[in-house]
């Protein structure tokens, strides 16, 4: 962009409207919420489905139709992957727009803000800081060319709540649930060896031993269902809050851009 007095030129990133990507992202994450709701319903039948699969495989029975667990699990990764891709694309553009507003004093770049999501330890707070920067600097009533003014803008407590819920859902689902499973599995194996008078692993065939172990695994899975339920509910709540954040930032940036054009 050239200055009118013929001086030096400087590059300002082009403003990218978040309207279209926000609509697409909201549709995708809404599909994810629907998936979570259906998953909550199917969790109660998870042990039964797994037990049926194990017994059918052990007996060599041909499975006539896939279980609800198998059907749902086949959709999880595609939904998750598409959601992540579109969210990071939205996140990148939202952060890049800050430079198009002439914002100074940013603590990151759009590329690094995205990379932070994948770096262990740093991912615990850096993406949150970047999201707060997006929210603060998108305020149409604050001049972001003044470093002190927009940094003094109050942080969004909505983003703070979303961030806490986001990590709680991951913590419960990926840490608490496996620990509960391990404790239950060990307990079930000890209980089996102590209560079953005729249990003698030396006299069991490898197939029978595999079957017994698999059924113990299924029984242990029942112990993590409450953790999975809590994780799914937290995930849904967090996603709903994220939708409001996306819409809020989109609206703020659109208004800020219109103010720039009219000034």
| pTM (2 d.p.) | 0.80
State how far the Cα of 74 lies from the Cα of 169, in Å rounded to an integer: 21
Half-sphere exposure for 116 (CA within 13 Å, toward CB): 20
Taking CA atoms, 99 is separated from 11, 21, 92, 93, in Å, by 10, 19, 12, 10
* Domain coordinates in residue numbering, the chain: 19-262
pLDDT tens digits along 114-146:
999 999 999 999 999 999 999 999 999 887 676
pLDDT tens digits along 140-198:
988 767 666 788 888 899 999 999 999 999 999 888 878 877 877 777 767 666 555 45
Instruction: Please provide the size of the chain in residues.
Output: 263
CB distance 103 to 137 below 8 Å: yes
State how far the Cα of 47 lies from the Cα of 50, in Å rounded to an integer: 5
């Amino acid at each position: 962009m050239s200055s009118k007095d013929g001086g030096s030129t400087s590059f300002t990133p082009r403003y990218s409207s978040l309207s279209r990507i926000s609509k697409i992202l909201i549709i995708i994450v809404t599909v994810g919420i629907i998936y979570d709701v259906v998953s909550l319903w199917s969790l109660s039948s998870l042990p039964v489905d797994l037990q049926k699969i194990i017994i059918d495989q052990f007996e060599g029975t041909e499975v006539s139709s896939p279980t609800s667990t198998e059907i749902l699990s086949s959709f999880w990764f595609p939904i998750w992957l598409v959601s992540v891709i579109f969210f990071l694309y939205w996140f990148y553009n939202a952060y890049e727009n800050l430079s198009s507003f002439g914002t100074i004093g940013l603590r990151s770049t759009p590329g690094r803000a995205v990379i932070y999501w994948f770096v262990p330890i740093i991912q615990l707070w850096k993406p949150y800081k970047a999201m707060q920067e997006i929210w603060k600097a998108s305020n149409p009533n604050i001049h972001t060319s003044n470093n002190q003014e927009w940094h003094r803008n109050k942080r969004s407590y909505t983003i703070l709540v979303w961030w806490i819920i986001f990590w709680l859902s991951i913590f419960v689902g990926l840490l608490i649930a496996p620990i509960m499973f391990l404790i239950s599995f060990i307990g079930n194996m000890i209980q089996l060896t102590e209560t079953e008078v005729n249990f003698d692993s030396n006299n069991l065939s490898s197939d029978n031993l595999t079957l017994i172990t698999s059924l113990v695994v299924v029984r242990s899975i029942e112990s993590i269902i409450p953790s999975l339920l809590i994780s799914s509910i937290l995930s849904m709540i967090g996603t709903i809050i994220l939708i409001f954040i996306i819409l809020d930032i989109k609206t703020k940036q659109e208004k800020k851009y219109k103010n720039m054009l009219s000034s």
